[in-house]
Amino acid sequence: MADSHPGRDGEQAVADAELHAHTRAIRAGRADNQNALAPILWATSTFTAASVSEARDLAVDTHSTRFYTRYGNPTVKAFEDVVADLEGTESARAFASGMGALSAIVLGLCSSGDHIVAQRQLYGGTQLLLQTACPRFGIGVTFVDGTEPGAFADAVIPGRTMLVIAESPANPKLDVVDLAEVGAIAGPMTVVDSTFATPLGQRPAEFGVDLVVHSATKAIAGHNDATIGVVAGSEELLAWLWNYAVLHGAAASPFDALNALRGIRTLAVRLRQQTGTATALAEALGSHPAVEAVYYPGLASHPQHELAARQMDLAGGLVTFDLRGGYEAGKAFMEEVRVVQFATSLGGPESLVTHPASTTHVSLLPDELEALCIGQGTVRFSAGLEHTDDVVADVIGALDRIDGSAASSAR
**pLDDT classification of 9: cutoffs 50, 70, 90:** low
For 254-305, what is each residue's pLDDT tens digit? 999 999 999 999 999 999 999 999 999 999 999 999 999 999 999 999 999 9
On whether the CB atoms of residues 285 and 46 are closer than 8 A, the answer is no
Mean pLDDT across the chain: 93
The structural domains of the chain, ordered by start, are 8-265 (3.40.640.10), 268-410 (3.90.1150.10)
For 58-117, what is each residue's pLDDT tens digit? 999 988 999 999 999 999 999 999 999 999 999 999 999 999 999 999 999 999 999 999
User: Which element (helix H / strand E) includes 144?
Assistant: strand 140-144
Torsion angles phi and psi, residue 214, rounded to 5:
-135, 140
Distance of CA 87 to the CA centre of its chain: 12
* Predicted pLDDT of residue 16: 78
* Predicted pLDDT of residue 408: 45
* Predicted pLDDT of residue 253: 97
**Residue 236 CB contacts under 8 Å (≥ 6 apart), including other chains:** none
Integer Cα distance of 406 and 411 in angstroms: 9
Contacts of 370-373 spanning 24+ positions with Cβ under 8 A: 371/120, 372/120, 372/121, 372/173, 373/173
Across the beta sheet with 291-295, what order do the strands follow?
291-295, 318-323, 378-382, 352-354, 341-342
First to last CA, the chain: 77
Please choose, from the candidates 38, 39, 33, 43, the residue with its C-alpha nearest in 3D space to the C-alpha of residue 9.
33
Please choose, from the candidates 242, 239, 237, the residue with its C-alpha nearest in 3D space to the C-alpha of residue 252.
242
DSSP states of 93-123 = EEESSHHHHHHHHHHHH--TT-EEEEESS--
For 11-25, what is each residue's pLDDT tens digit? 555 567 789 999 999
Mean of pLDDT values over 362-381: 83
* Predicted pLDDT of residue 10: 54
Neighbours of 132 (CB within 10 A): 10
* Predicted pLDDT of residue 364: 77
What is this structure's pTM?
A: 0.93
Give yes or no for residue 2 having a pLDDT over 90. no
Task: Output b/e per residue, 379-408; b: 16+ Cβ within 10 A.
Answer: bbbbbbbbebeebbebbbebbeebbeebee
**Residue 136 CB contacts under 8 Å (≥ 6 apart), including other chains:** none
Please choose, from the candidates 181, 10, 188, 214, the residue with its C-alpha nearest in 3D space to the C-alpha of residue 102.
214
Distance of CA 200 to the CA centre of its chain: 12
Give yes or no for residue 3 having a pLDDT over 60. no
Task: Output b/e per residue, 197-236; b: 16+ Cβ within 10 A.
Answer: bbbbbbbbbebebbbbbbbbbbbbbbebebbbbbbbbeee
**pLDDT classification of 1: cutoffs 50, 70, 90:** very low
Mean of pLDDT values over 371-375: 80
Residues of the chain above pLDDT 90, percent: 86
**pLDDT classification of 6: cutoffs 50, 70, 90:** very low
Residues of the chain above pLDDT 70, percent: 94
Integer Cα distance of 284 and 256 in angstroms: 36
For 175-229, what is each residue's pLDDT tens digit? 999 999 999 999 999 999 999 999 999 999 999 999 999 999 999 999 999 999 9
* Predicted pLDDT of residue 410: 46
Mean of pLDDT values over 234-238: 96
